Amino acid sequence: VDIACAWSRRRRRRSCRRSNHAHAMSTSAVMQAIARPCVHARVAPRTQNKAVARRTVVAAVSEPEAAAADADDEKKTRRRFPRKNITVQEDQVVVGASFTGKVKRIQDYGCFVDFGAKTDGLVHISELQAGFVDKVSEVVSEDQEVKVWIKEIKDNKISLTMKQPPTEEELAAAKSEQEAKFAARQAYKKAQDVKSQAVKALKKGQKIEGEVKSIQPFGAFVEVAEGVEGLVHITELSDDFNVNVEDFCKVGEKVTVTVIGIEGAKVKLSMKEKLDLSEMNAEAQSVVDNSASALEYAFKKKGISADMFPKGSAAAAAPAPAAEVSE
């Protein structure tokens, strides 16, 4: 028991000495303790009381002194920018309005222009001038006065352009031109539909009378229906070689053609008389019997028959005289 009491008294004396030493620490020592918090984390178990005492001293620092230190640090780190001269009100910043400003910054993608508004506007590289721009610095430079137009306002970001927008007359002319192009496309589409229907009505082998519209070295184009022209190739004019198209037809002349093929909207025509083998075979069967040979049919076609020839001569019919026997 005596030993335990002595040990307890010894610990109390040590605690008092440490507490008095901690209260006597200067402000610089407190700041050093704040700047090195990791040292307190690595103290040995026997020095835990010293770390607790230091934390107590740090917490006891007066709030006015800490606020003054923070204010001094903020004054040192705060950057001061020149005050901007705002000459354009927010209600004046509308799409289409024009202003005169100065180029403040140049970037690879464009330049920022101060035209008097609260926020500078961006002129994209594609809006510097008409045509291709390789570098922004080749068109504008810093502090250069330029005339800009507001192109778009989105999320408090102002997009500017240095290309003058079209006037009302130019917009009306562009609109009328666009309407004319649209009407032309509609008319062309309607004509193509009519042509497609006319082509579907044609049949292979059909004979049509048409008008020669144009003559080319490779053949002639003949109109077989309204808006539908077919090609009579030079090989379909005659079986001869090295023929001249103008020898067979003229522009504006009416000719009879035969449809020999249809491929989509392309129509192939022919002016040659095609032989109908089925009719020839039927005619041959009606003239001669099935047992007749091709030679007999050819003679019959020419008007030659077996009745035109005598069946035999008298000399051939008379018997040959007997030979005389000489003694």
Do residues 258 and 235 make contact, with C-beta atoms less than 8 angstroms apart?
no
What is the C-alpha to C-alpha distance for residues 203 and 136, in angstroms, rounded to an integer? 66
pTM over 0.75: no
Q: What angle do CA 58, 59, 63 make, to 5 degrees?
A: 105
What is the C-alpha to C-alpha distance for residues 110 and 99, in angstroms, rounded to an integer? 18
Pick from 42, 41, 43, 52: nearest CA to 19: 52
- φ/ψ (deg, to 5) at 207: -100, 130
Q: What angle do CA 45, 46, 50 make, to 5 degrees?
A: 100
What is the C-alpha to C-alpha distance for residues 105 and 300, in angstroms, rounded to an integer? 106
User: If you ran DSSP here, which 8-state letter would residue 247 be given?
Assistant: G
Print pLDDT tens along the chain (327 aa): 567 667 677 777 776 666 555 555 554 555 565 555 444 444 445 555 555 545 554 444 445 565 666 666 655 555 555 677 788 888 888 988 999 999 999 999 999 999 998 889 999 999 999 889 999 999 999 999 999 999 999 888 999 999 988 888 888 899 999 999 999 999 989 888 888 888 888 888 888 888 888 888 888 898 888 878 888 898 888 877 788 888 888 888 888 888 888 887 788 888 887 655 555 566 656 655 555 566 776 777 777 777 777 665 444 445 555 544 443
Helices (H), 201-307: 277-287, 294-301
On the 0-12 / 13-18 / 19+ scale of CB atoms within 10 A, 229 is buried
Return the structure tokens found at 223: 């109109």
- φ/ψ (deg, to 5) at 65: -65, -40
Return the structure tokens found at 19: 């507490």
